[in-house]
Structure 1
Amino acid sequence: MSAPRPLLRIEPMHGNAIAPRGADDGSAGTPRGIASIGILYVIGQGQYEQLQRMVFGQEGQCPVFAVLDGAIVDDLPPLLQRHAPDAMCLFSGDLDPMLAAAAPYLLMLTPGSGGAQLALRDGWNSHWGIVLVTDPGTQAHALRAHLRRILRVATPGGDSMLFRFYDPRAFRSVVPSFDAEQRKAFFGPIRGCFVESRDGQGVLYFTRDGEIAPRVLPLAAAA
């Protein structure tokens, strides 16, 4: 079966955002090198609790998920097996162990869960991934199917490439440049995305139906 046609078309101008030769399984074929991650801003317990209030304080019953990046997080698959055993790889098929280790994974978050600790405490401000607030009733398998459709993007030249939207740096660089049609295709059932800020002092909240620019939510200073 041939791979689905990419939903998005973007310019290949962000080195950390895309990787060449997106394969039928959604992968880039082999793990790619990641640029130096630079200065990291470790958060404290109070900031973790504040993040949880931001993320889980949305009105209504909105399922919350995270996508974590195995290319950034050391030993992510065994880590998820211990703390979020229901996590699902966004790549399909029987993957080479090296590719499986570097793949992105989708996990559902609930307050205080092991997955929430990984995404909102251990990995926040360390480029581990992004957090998604979805429409009420969104199921993990349906969200995975949507995310797999936006993993592959087409360049103006027709090349298929892997879009590393789950890297906060790539997200911040690319998503604000989308036009209305691209934005609708990208977000799908996702109401909003929480992404770490560049300076580590706040949280960026990108919405599907609101302004193009994200809301900037300040984090209290670490105790």
Structure 2
Amino acid sequence: MTEPQAEGRSYPGAGHPIAESLAAASALGTPLVFLCPRKSQSFASAFAELEWRLQQTKDNIYLLIDAPLGGALLADFAAAGVQTLQLFPGDSDPALLEVAPVLVPCSDAQMVLERFHSFWARGFASILTSRADPQTLHLHLRKTLYVEVPGGELCILRFHDPRVLNRIAEVLMEDQIDEVFQDAIESFIFENAGGDVQTLTRPQVVAE
């Protein structure tokens, strides 16, 4: 008789970073696999690159997480007593609050790196650096969350989704990025479609 498989671990290679990535790509319904095509690179190199970048920054570090897909990660933070800030107003419909993006202030780079395999290449979290304190950044993100498209429709900007950040990096001009970032955001750090670490940084103001 075959032993029942553990819940949530029912596919080959479950638990291995590469297998987890393939499963995430499959669940997202995308032909893109979040792995670097170069044979010499893997999640190990992405981790090392991210570790170096986070250790270089003097700014505050945050995670921005999609609540429905990142529930396990948010539960981990809650169990550790970590503060979390929902981006939807507190008086929103409870059902809406359940799917609100969540800002998580991180005390240091290690707090992110310890959870690297919990969110990297899963499509539900990005890293954000800022000189602002949590409350100031929280207010800025809440104001910036809603975007009016040319047709007049009001949409929600999914900062937490690396696929969206990749698109933003491709299509927005510097002045548009500056309008979104303003003085509150220094950079977003996320994975591109090849699994490499990518950074979208606030345009630098050049003194005349």
TM-score, normalising length: structure 1:
0.65
Uncovered stretches (5+) of structure 2, i.e. residues with no partner: 1-26, 36-41
> Structure 1 residue 72: deviation in Å?
2.5
1:111 counterpart letter in structure 2: A
The answer to whether residue 174 in structure 2 is matched with residue 180 in structure 1 is: yes
Q: Distance in 2 between matches of 1:183 and 1:145?
A: 18
Q: Measure the CA separation in 1 of the matches of 2:96 and 2:29.
A: 20
| Partner AA of 2:189 in structure 1 | F
Q: Which runs of 5 or more residues in structure 1 are unaligned?
A: 1-33, 211-223
1:36 aligns with 2:32: no
| Aligned equivalent of 2:101, options 96, 104, 126 | 104
SS of the equivalent of 1:102 reads coil
Tell which has more relative contact order, 1 or 2 (C-alpha 8 A, sep 6+). 1
Structure (1 or 2) with the greater helix fraction:
2
Match of 1:170 in 2: 164
Q: CA deviation at 1:151?
A: 0.7
1:77/1:97 CA distance change after superposition, 3 Å: farther
Equivalence for 1:214: none
Supply the distance in 2 between the matched residues of 1:53 and 1:180 (Cα, whole angstroms): 26
Distance 1:153 1:92 in 2: 16
d(CA) in 1 for partners of 2:109, 2:168 = 29
The answer to whether the Cα contact below 8 Å between 1:75 and 1:101 also exists between their aligned partners in 2 is no
Question: What is the CA–CA distance in structure 1 between the aligned matches of 2:81 and 2:34, rounded to whole Å?
Answer: 24
Residue 86 of structure 2 corresponds to residue 92 of structure 1: no
Of 140-149 and 47-56, deviating more is 47-56
Matches for 1:136-215 after TM superposition, within 5 Å: 138-188=132-182, 189-200=184-195, 202-209=196-203
CA contact under 8 A between 2:147 and 2:154: conserved in structure 1?
Answer: yes
What is the identity, as a one-letter code, of the residue corresponding to 1:144? Answer: H
Aligned-partner Cα distance in 1 for 2:175–2:126: 22
| SS state at 2:110 partner | coil
- Secondary structure of the residue aligned to 1:204 is strand
What is the CA distance between 1:153 and its match in structure 2?
Answer: 0.2
User: SS where residue 112 of structure 1 aligns?
Assistant: helix
Aligned residues: 169
Q: Secondary structure at the match of 1:184?
A: helix
Separation in structure 2 between the aligned mates of residue 72 and residue 49 of structure 1, nearest angstrom: 25
Cα deviation, residue 62, structure 1: 1.2
Amino acid across the alignment from 2:109: P
1:130 aligns to 2:129 (yes or no): no
CA contact (8 A) 1:84 1:107 kept: no
**What is the TM-score when the length of structure 2 is the normalising length?**
0.69
Instruction: State the structure with more CA Rg.
Output: 2
Q: Determine the C-alpha separation between the residues in 2 that align with 1:169 and 1:103.
A: 18
2:117 corresponds to which residue?
121
Q: How many Å separate the matches in 2 of 1:97 and 1:56?
A: 38
Considering only aligned residues, what root-mean-square deviation do their CA atoms show, in Å? 2.6
Q: Does 1:82 align with 2:79?
A: yes
Q: 1:95 to 1:78 in 2, by over 3 A?
A: farther
